Amino acid sequence: MKNVIVPLNAFDSIDVTTNGQESFVKLIAEAGAYGIEIRRELLPEAVLPLGKIKREIDRYGLFTVYSAPIECWKEDCQLNEDQLNHIFQEATILGAQWVKVSLGHFQQNKSNIAELGKFLKKQKEIQLLVENDQTPHGGSIHHLQAFFESVVDQNVPVKMTFDTGNWYFSNQDVEDALQKLAPYVSYLHLKQVTEKLETVPLEREGDHSWKLVMSSFPADIVKALEFPIVPKEKTKDYIQMITDIARGREALVR
């Protein structure tokens, strides 16, 4: 069962920006990952080495997610089409199958879902994912539920990335989010957050909300390890831990 993705922001940012995201591809692949999440914010500002990264990813046959720190809906509640178009062009060069962004300032009575549908018709090879971020607007259960109900109603192909830790930063209840948003989720970002709002490595033992979230979805749902992996050589251990937990659940279901 290979369904664990490793985002590049799990590693030391200086190491990533100095040596390039392509330098981590071999480590991630050999650790047994299903895929890699390339992070737009960790790319150089000048010339983007997307072709170089793609060639390295292709060598190892990894599934590719492209994560960009942009909001789908601008502050005026209108579609952020220029930035979305830019990110999708980069994702195409990268060979990414999924693009992940934040919700932004969606309002049901002001935002035009049909415009998003029209945009996505031109992007048939790439799946758009919208994630709950750490902001009051983009991390709001109410706003996210309204958005996903609207895309389903208008048959617009958007899926959700459910970040298990970001709900704490936006002061939302994880279980409430799970109850209302689970039908839209196709990708989990696994993150353990302390009471001091610090993201820490996942722990096998203990009662943690990320475990509750994981257990609420099929064992084969795609998961990402979005927490500090130190040293980076421990990547294999974390992938094995998540795989073991998922296999254990699968065996119980059978």
DSSP assignment of the chain equals ---EEEEGGGS-HHHHHHH-GGGGHHHHHHTT-SEEEEEGGGS-SSS--HHHHHHHHHHHT-EEEEEEEEEEE-TTSSB-HHHHHHHHHHHHHHT-SEEEEEEES--TTT--HHHHHHHHTT-TTSEEEEE--SSTTTT-HHHHHHHHHHHHHTT--EEEEEETTHHHHTT--HHHHHHHHGGGEEEEEE-EE-TTS-EE---SSS--HHHHHHHTS-TTSEEEE-S--SSGGGHHHHHHHHHHHHHHHHHHH-
Q: What is the pLDDT of residues 58-103, one digit of tens each?
A: 999 999 999 999 999 999 999 999 999 999 999 999 999 999 999 9
From the candidate CATH numbers 3.30.70.2190, 3.30.1490.100, 2.20.28.10, 3.20.20.150, the one assigned to the domain spanning 4-253: 3.20.20.150
This prediction has a pTM of 0.96
The model's pLDDT over 10-29, given as tens digits with 9 standing for 90+, comes to 999 999 999 999 999 999 99
For the chain, domain boundaries:
4-253
| Percent share of the chain, pLDDT over 70 | 97
